[in-house]
């Protein structure tokens, strides 16, 4: 194509048609400029198409991740609800416990869990690490997404702190008589006379006070507060999903 244009220019010059040559040269420049402009436009359209596809991919995957979070958190909430219910019965019995059998029943009923929240952050981390979050044009949606994961991070830190304090209470030296009792109770070699049980029912005794602190921390903190925090994350996650679905609808994405 370039050789073809060059031949035309050379022919016009050799024939002394300077005016026509200048007009042709200007026309050729205009064509080149138009070609460059079209190339830029096509490139911009291609980049917009790529961003459009990335935005759809991120939003769809993020929606799936949060759906999975909500499912897992709902299951965890059900588990800790059963812990809380069983532990409430244990605490009522503990406050009136008088015998070894009462303490064993309390230990059997009392339930808690020290695991932290497990959240699927794969898509969110990918968006942050690749600056993909800035592909999203809806600033409010970006804020909602970042707030959701900030809430999760704060909750994970709070749960870790509660778990640590609860385990610290549980490992107190004051609880050794209780641990020895529940560890060997109903074993063939168990002899009640070899273990101190005078603390049972005495709320001035270090062991009973230690159990009171541990049970209270585990029930209110690990069981009750964990459920409240988890439900807050579920509520926030549902809002983000709603906002994502609205964004997909507004942009006429095929969901």
138-196 pLDDT per residue, tens: 889 999 999 999 999 999 999 998 888 888 888 899 999 999 899 888 888 888 888 88
Spatial contact of 192 and 100, defined as CB atoms under 8 Å apart? yes
Contacts of 134 (CB under 8 A, 6+ apart): none
Q: How far is CA 207 from the centre of its chain?
A: 39
Cα–Cα distance for residue pair 238/107, rounded to 1 Å: 37
Q: What digits encode the pLDDT tens for the residues 27-65? A: 566 666 666 666 566 555 555 666 667 788 889 999 999
Contact between 253 and 56 under an 8 Å Cβ cutoff? The reply is yes
The model carries a pTM of: 0.78
CA distance 12 to 2: 16
Domain residue extents for the chain: 56-250
């Amino acid at each position: 194509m370039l050789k073809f244009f060059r031949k035309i220019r050379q022919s016009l010059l050799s024939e002394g048609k300077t005016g026509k040559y200048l007009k042709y040269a200007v026309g050729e420049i205009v064509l080149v400029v138009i070609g460059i402009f079209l190339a830029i436009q096509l490139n911009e359209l291609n980049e917009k198409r790529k961003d459009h596809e990335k935005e759809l991919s991120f939003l769809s995957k993020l929606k799936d991740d949060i759906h999975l979070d909500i499912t897992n958190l709902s299951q965890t909430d059900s588990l800790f609800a059963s812990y809380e219910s069983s532990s409430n019965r244990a605490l009522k019995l503990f406050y009136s416990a008088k015998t070894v059998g009462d303490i064993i029943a309390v230990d059997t009923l009392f339930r808690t869990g020290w695991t932290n929240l497990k959240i699927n952050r794969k898509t969110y981390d990918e968006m942050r690490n690749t600056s993909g979050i800035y592909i999203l044009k809806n600033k409010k949606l970006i804020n909602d997404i970042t707030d959701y994961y900030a809430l999760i991070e704060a909750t994970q830190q709070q749960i870790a702190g509660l778990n640590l304090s609860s385990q610290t209470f549980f490992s107190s030296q004051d609880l050794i008589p209780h641990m020895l009792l529940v560890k060997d109770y109903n074993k063939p070699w168990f002899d009640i006379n070899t273990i101190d049980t005078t603390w049972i029912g005495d709320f001035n005794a270090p062991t009973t006070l230690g159990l009171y602190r541990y049970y209270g921390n585990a029930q209110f903190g690990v069981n009750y507060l964990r459920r409240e925090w988890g439900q807050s994350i579920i509520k926030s996650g549902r809002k983000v999903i709603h906002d994502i679905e609205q964004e997909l609808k507004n942009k006429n994405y095929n969901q």
